[in-house]
Amino acid sequence: MENQHGLSKSLSTIDIVALAFGAMIGWGWVVLAGGWVSSAGVLGAVVAFLIGGLAVLLIGLAYAELAACMPITGGEHTYTHRAFGVHVSFICSWSILFGYLSVVAFEAVALPTVVEYLIPNFNQGYMYNIAGWDVYATWVAVGMLGSIIVTWLNVRGLEVAAWFQKLAVLGILFVGIMLFVGALLFNPEARFDNLGLPNFINGTAGIMTVIIMVPFMFVGFDVIPQAAEEIDLSRPKIGLFLIVSLIMAIMWYMGIAWSVGYTLSAEQAASSSLGTADAMMNAWNSKWAGVLLIIGGVLGILSSWNAFLIGGSRLMYAMAKSHMLPEFLGKIHPKYGTPATAIMLIGGLATLAPLFGRKTLVWIVDAGGVGIVIAYTCVAAAFLYLRFKEPDMVRPFRVPAGKLVGVIILLVSIGMISLYLPWAPSALTPVEWVIFGVWCLIGALLYGYAYKKNPGKSQAFMDEEIRAIKEANQVWLKENGMPSLAIERQASRRNP
């Protein structure tokens, strides 16, 4: 079954949960969990993820309501246009596209980095040094090969990518459950000589140290709205399962934090480069368990990589269709029904990424994080504004107390932006600000060119898309037996 843009409706309930959950569960939990528990303690880290996760869940509520109302490829691209017009739509879309591109590129670097831990003397064929990082031929080759495979899977069709995603997420869940069960059976008093981690370290300050990392561990749930046209579910279920995927991620990170904190010694938590793998070895008293955990981390890399390539390519496709980017990026593959050109462009950039070394890509990812939180803020503002501008808008998934929730979401999003500013502990470095500035300049030049070449086309295309959404919403109201008064109210707003 195809929609009006030629994209196939092929994503089921399990597919979209795996897509969003897999996007949020990358490699970070393997590397960073030891730092979480050494900064805040066992329960301190758990509390940090509960509080931070609930904040992200509020932002997810805005996405859930808007995605159910406007199930159009591009997500934020459409929401912000309906509220504020094409200019804000481009700013929001270009911002989060940078975030998606940076994550996809970094996964091509994360994969060979993990292989280093598994294969002794893996790095062979020294090439050069970039920003203090030695680049080796074998390291580059693994990253490039991984990128080519993931890109090829996505070009072949969303069904293929979805099957790959489900298998990867299934493997991640198996490894996570193994760690949790091992922690339940673990006896720290018999193993640590009372040198285990306390429940809380540094009180509130310790918890806050972990909380500032939390929002960025949950980046990825927003890939569901990007692929909304390809989801074969009812409107309310799109919003519902977006929230389900977020709740799963909150539970995952809380479970990982507790398991790692309970099974690591204080010394290991402070010094280990792979605290989660060490925790798994402790829990099962075996080196094979640590290797299994790292394999789970590899699956996390692949699932996140796959999800962000899906989300980024769909957003790029939507921007091209609305005349904000070159039109060739909006082409659909005649056989596979995928936005193949956009997929291959993003995949091609990721394939080149390992050539720049790990340090350079860390800078790009940090700068891309700014783009993601700017987009979250734009969506929060659109959610709140539409509650006032269009109070009778069809909302198949409706957030209770929407205006109050909207204010809270907007404040939370602005707070997330402040984490990157110079006075914050997680502030960007000068070189990262330069990278973000260059991305903004490229966007301004592309948008200015498109605006001049196709005057009024973006506005006309987006307006027509919104009108089509409103017409579809009328059909949804009638099919679901809504009162005729509600239908009339919607019809009266058909041409705002």
Q: What CA–CA distance (Å, rounded) separates 154 from 141?
A: 20
Write the DSSP symbol of residue 11: B
φ, ψ (nearest 5 deg) of residue 289: -65, -40
pLDDT-derived band at 416, boundaries 50, 70, 90: confident
Q: What CA–CA distance (Å, rounded) separates 321 from 474?
A: 24
Residue 484, pLDDT above cutoff 70? no
Nearest to 146 by CA among 115, 190, 183: 115
* Long-range pairs for 331-334: beta carbons < 8 A, 24 or more residues apart: 332/5, 332/6, 332/7, 333/155
Residue 235: its pLDDT value, please? 83
Q: What CA–CA distance (Å, rounded) separates 8 from 5?
A: 9
Q: Contact, 30 vs 274, CB < 8 A? A: yes
Q: How does pLDDT run across 276-288, given as a tens digit for each residue?
A: 999 999 999 898 9
Please say whether the dihedral angle defined by the alpha carbons of residues 312, 20, 263 and 53, taken in this order, is positive or negative: positive
Calculate the alpha carbon distances from 287 to 173, 279, 464 in Å: 20, 11, 59
Mean pLDDT of 199-211: 89
Residue 119: its pLDDT value, please? 85
Mean pLDDT of 331-354: 91
Take residue 248 and report the two structure tokens written for it. Answer: 């799963």
Looking at the DSSP assignment, which residues form a beta bridge with residue 11?
A: 231
pTM score of the predicted model? 0.86
Residue 491, pLDDT above cutoff 50? no
Residue 151: its pLDDT value, please? 94
Residue 51 neighbours by CB under 8 Å, 6+ apart: 207, 211, 214
Q: Contact, 340 vs 155, CB < 8 A? A: yes
Q: How does pLDDT run across 176-192, given as a tens digit for each residue?
A: 999 999 999 887 665 55
Q: What CA–CA distance (Å, rounded) separates 284 from 301?
A: 24
The larger pLDDT score, comparing residue 2 to residue 466, is at 466
What SS3 state is found at 134? Answer: strand
Q: How does pLDDT run across 87-115, given as a tens digit for each residue?
A: 999 999 999 999 999 989 988 888 888 88
Q: What angle, rounded to 10 degrees, do the helices at 402-418 and 42-69 form?
A: 120
Helices H, strands E: what count in the chain?
Answer: 21, 2
CATH class of the domain at 13-493: mainly alpha
Residue 230, pLDDT above cutoff 50? yes
Residue 7: its pLDDT value, please? 60
Q: Contact, 352 vs 135, CB < 8 A? A: no
pLDDT-derived band at 483, boundaries 50, 70, 90: low
Calculate the alpha carbon distances from 431 to 95, 427, 435 in Å: 18, 12, 6
Take residue 24 and report the two structure tokens written for it. Answer: 């949020």
Per the prediction, the chain carries an average pLDDT of 86
Looking at the DSSP assignment, which residues form a beta bridge with residue 126?
A: 136
The larger pLDDT score, comparing residue 233 to residue 68, is at 68
User: One-letter amino acid identity for 429?
Assistant: T
User: One-letter amino acid identity for 353?
Assistant: A
Q: How does pLDDT run across 121-169, given as a tens digit for each residue?
A: 899 999 999 988 899 999 999 999 999 999 998 898 778 888 888 999 9
Residue 115 neighbours by CB under 8 Å, 6+ apart: 122, 139, 142
Residue appearing with tokens 């948008």: 447
Q: What CA–CA distance (Å, rounded) separates 457 from 327?
A: 12
Residue 437: its pLDDT value, please? 95
Q: What CA–CA distance (Å, rounded) separates 259 from 277?
A: 11
What SS3 state is found at 8? Answer: strand
